[in-house]
Amino acid sequence: MTVLVVGGGIGGLATALGLARAGHRVTVLEAAPAFEEIGAGIQVGPNGFRMLDTLGVGPVVRSRAVHVDELRLRCGVSGKLIAGLPIDDGFRSRFGTYAVVHRNDVLAPLLDACQSHDRIDLRVNSGVAAYTQDADGVTAVLRSGDLVHGEALVGADGLRSAVRRQLVGDGDPQVSGHTTFRAVIPAQDVPDSLKENVVTLWAGPRYHVVWYVIAGGRSVNLVATADNGATEAMAGKPVEHADVMRHFTPLCADAARVMELADEWRAWVLCDRMPITNWQDQRVVLLGDAAHPVLQYAAQGACQALEDAVCLSSVYDPRDVRGSFARYAALRSERAARVHHASRWMGREVYHADGEAALARDAMFASWTVADLHERLDWLYG
């Protein structure tokens, strides 16, 4: 018998690999014609790297990552430094690797490992419309009408999960009103004075801009987010440079210089969902963004999907599918909810603070030492 994994993103492929390494047969059903990630960079925290290590792909992802020296929070208006978290020996010995990676440099090693595993069957053009189940197994009903049978089904089909629609039925995800504009700049275009091996985040009134080097230092990933009251979800829509820039005022000179380097922008209107605990319907369970989509502000969506994958693989027992899935959901749902709340809090109180709230934020960070920051991050990275 086989476990069906719906969706071949980071969460789905990590789950397939984890289950196969634990001795189970897996079929991955991916809607798209190929396994690939859209967007460019991703920050992978120590908790994410530990999961990649557990899945056996940590070393290859590390070898393709940019190992930044510091995470820096600056004021988007004045440019002044608000706080810095060195990614140094002290950080690494306590938590492990923190690095920035091209999304495909996370997905491709997972995909390679899945392709070379004889217990994994990878199928593209296999969008799942629904599932049925009985006491013995579960059937994925593909959009084509084809049926695929298994002993269990994991819905790792992302923010607009068809599995979740059937399992939870809570409608569309919640539109945050925040628009993220992403661009990739050739590193050679960046002035030397701005070339630092750090993740820099400029926090301004109702906006923030993040940038860091990816792809072995060849490209710079730029993510600029505005709390602009957007009301409709959007994913990857091309936008004009001038339409991006008007959301980011007033903006300090360095941040403006970086943003002026970008000419091809794409926009996403961010969505999340309030945390739930009912991730399971008998032999069917949710994972990754399908279970707990978060705003990107804690840089944890993919890391949490990886944690889900390792957790599910380690508790899965084909003799007790329902019990295994219940254990997995119980182990994971509280932590995923905490990440959800932390992500919203960071957006509201740290990244987009304005006026008095920004002053309070600056005072809060000024009162914290690096050791204090480590303590505050321990629940997430430790």
Q: How many helices (H) and strands (E) does the chain have?
A: 12, 19
Least distance in angstroms from the C-beta of 155 to ligand FAD: 9
Nearer to ligand FAD, 91 or 268 (CB): 268
Separation of alpha carbons 350 and 171, rounded Å: 30
Least distance in angstroms from the C-beta of 220 to ligand FAD: 15
Q: Would you count residue 30 as binding ligand FAD (CB under 6 A)?
A: yes
Which one of the spans 28-36, 64-72, 275-283, 342-350 is the region binding ligand FAD (CB under 6 A)? 28-36
Q: Are 154 and 279 in contact (CB under 8 A)?
A: no
Nearer to ligand FAD, 37 or 349 (CB): 37
Residues 104-133 that bind ligand FAD (CB under 6 A): 127-128
Least distance in angstroms from the C-beta of 201 to ligand FAD: 11
Q: Report the 10 Å Cβ neighbour count for 192.
A: 6
Which one of the spans 10-18, 113-121, 199-207, 341-349 is the region binding ligand FAD (CB under 6 A)? 10-18
User: Which residue of 3, 4, 5, 10 would you call a contact of ligand FAD, by CB under 6 A?
Assistant: 10
Q: In what order do the strands lie in the sheet with 138-142?
A: 128-133, 138-142, 147-150
Residues 167-196 that bind ligand FAD (CB under 6 A): 180
- What's the one-letter identity of residue 226? A
Q: Report the 10 Å Cβ neighbour count for 212.
A: 22
Residues 311-370 that bind ligand FAD (CB under 6 A): none
Residue 166 phi, psi (nearest 5) = -80, -40
x-or-dash string of contact with ligand FAD, 251-280, rule CB under 6 A: -----------------x------------
Q: Is the dihedral of CA 231, 232, 233, 235 positive or negative?
A: negative
Q: Would you count residue 58 as binding ligand FAD (CB under 6 A)?
A: no
User: Which residue of 58, 109, 173, 288 would you call a contact of ligand FAD, by CB under 6 A?
Assistant: 288
Nearer to ligand FAD, 6 or 61 (CB): 6
Pairing verdict, β 152-155 and 2-6: parallel
Which one of the spans 27-35, 55-63, 117-125, 240-248 is the region binding ligand FAD (CB under 6 A)? 27-35
Name the nearest CA neighbour of 210 among 198, 218, 222: 222
Burial of 166 (0-12, 13-18, 19+ CB in 10 A): middle
Pairing verdict, β 284-286 and 152-155: parallel
Residues 223-252 that bind ligand FAD (CB under 6 A): 223
Nearer to ligand FAD, 7 or 46 (CB): 7
DSSP 8-class letter at 216: G
Q: Would you count residue 203 as binding ligand FAD (CB under 6 A)?
A: no
Q: Would you count residue 18 as binding ligand FAD (CB under 6 A)?
A: no
User: Which residue of 4, 12, 105, 343 would you call a contact of ligand FAD, by CB under 6 A?
Assistant: 12
Pairing verdict, β 207-214 and 219-227: antiparallel
For 104, residues 6+ apart whose C-beta sits below 8 A from its C-beta are 36, 37
DSSP 8-class letter at 130: E
Q: Would you count residue 299 as binding ligand FAD (CB under 6 A)?
A: yes
Q: Which residues bind ligand FAD (CB under 6 A)?
A: 6-12, 29-32, 42-43, 48, 127-128, 156-159, 162, 180, 223, 268, 288-289, 296, 299-303, 305
